[in-house]
Amino acid sequence: MSVVAIVKVENENVEAAVRQAIALAGALDVFIPGAKVLLKPNLVKPEASGTGIVTDVRVIEAVAKVALEHDPAVVILGEGASVGYDFPGQVDSLTAMEANGSADVARRLGLPMVDLNHDERVMVQVENALVMPEFGVAKTAYDADVIVDLPVCKTHGRTGITCALKNMKGVLPGQEKKRTHRMGLDRAIVDLNRGVMPQLTVVDAIVGRSGTHTDPEDRVTLGCIVCGLDPVAVDAVCGALMGFDVNELLHVKLAGEAGLGIADLDKIEVRGTPIAELARRVVRYGEAARERFGAVTIIEKDMCTGCMGEMESAFLYINKAGYGYRLKDLTLVLGMVDELPPIDGAPVIVGKCPMKLRDAGVYVPGCPPHGIKMADGICEALGLDKDVVYTAIEALHNVA
């Protein structure tokens, strides 16, 4: 049986909960003297710690301290932020580390920081691959003796949840991240973890996200740390904490079938706090999206996370401006769409992937285009007052 530990955070003492979870999971032996250790948090974009969008900096610091206590050769803080947040000198993984506070931790503890999106690339071959027999990974991740996966417990529009297995996408350079969507994200995640699998997973399940991650109500407080050596079992447990059956989580189910770990809760020993004590059914991404943006017609094929996130921001701006009722007149085209069916609503063609269809409507360039640029395109297509929308954007970002 795989072992997964769940430890509640008491009195805001995150470090104590992390240490207890690692010990309960029987994972201290992972930290080998002389090892190259990579700490791989979820810093998908520049966001503050505690939002539930990125890994809580207190979790990162606690794991770094544990790793340093075992006489490693080096402990590295490394991440490859999402597509659209990978432009050096503008907004990138290092920017995300600064925003989250982990850069301060790295400097204080003497940890090198690496942007895995712009690291040297090593090609990895995978036997019995589902969709990706070969792909490039960051050399820092490839060379690590120990990868400690530090995800956040969140919902996801494509995969149901994003946690241990999916968080490993950060070791893929930007173009490889896009390819996982084109090849089929669930199966690509399995192949990725066949080639580069973490030795330990410590999940920030203190505060996560449900729904579309766009509203304050999407914050989910579970108040715990989840830890295990088996990332498949960790994902099965975290899915259960958010009310998912593993059969709803294709990448987790496929990873279990591929022998990467245990996906069956009946074969997982949970130590510490029982799942039932903390579990709840969170709002799924699709449920929230239909409620908030359901009037929009979306034509897409293999849309990546970058466009998905910026699209949500654009909808948020339009709704905040009071124009949500007009979204029923809109058609968005995103991803690798080859041809268009008859369209009733005003079409907006978004991003690099469907560029060949740009003459079919208002075209918004970028990879991905910023949510504000998408909002501009929507305003043009629907004849909305951009000044009203920009006032709403300023209010949302507290820069009015």
Q: What is the pLDDT of residues 127-137, one digit of tens each?
A: 999 999 999 99
Of the candidates 367, 369, 365, 371, which has an alpha carbon nearest to the alpha carbon of residue 397?
A: 371
What gap in Å lies between CA 311 and CA 60, rounded to an integer?
Answer: 30
pLDDT-based confidence at residue 400 (cuts at 50, 70, 90):
very low
What gap in Å lies between CA 333 and CA 373, rounded to an integer?
Answer: 15
Average confidence score pLDDT of the chain: 92
Exposure string (b/e) for 189-212, b if CB count within 10 Å is 16 or more? bbbbbbbbbbbbbbbbbbbbbbbb
Mean pLDDT to the nearest integer, 290-303: 81
What gap in Å lies between CA 245 and CA 237, rounded to an integer?
Answer: 10
Q: Give the per-residue pLDDT at 377.
A: 95
Q: Judge whether residue 53 has pLDDT over 60.
A: yes
pLDDT-based confidence at residue 397 (cuts at 50, 70, 90):
low
Q: Judge whether residue 309 has pLDDT over 90.
A: no
pTM value is: 0.83
Chain centre to alpha carbon of residue 154? 8
Q: Judge whether residue 399 has pLDDT over 70.
A: no
Taken in order 378, 382, 383, 387, the sign of the CA dihedral is negative
Q: Judge whether residue 396 has pLDDT over 80.
A: no
Amino acid at 206: I
Q: What is the pLDDT of residues 170-184, one digit of tens each?
A: 999 877 888 887 788
What gap in Å lies between CA 151 and CA 142, rounded to an integer?
Answer: 19
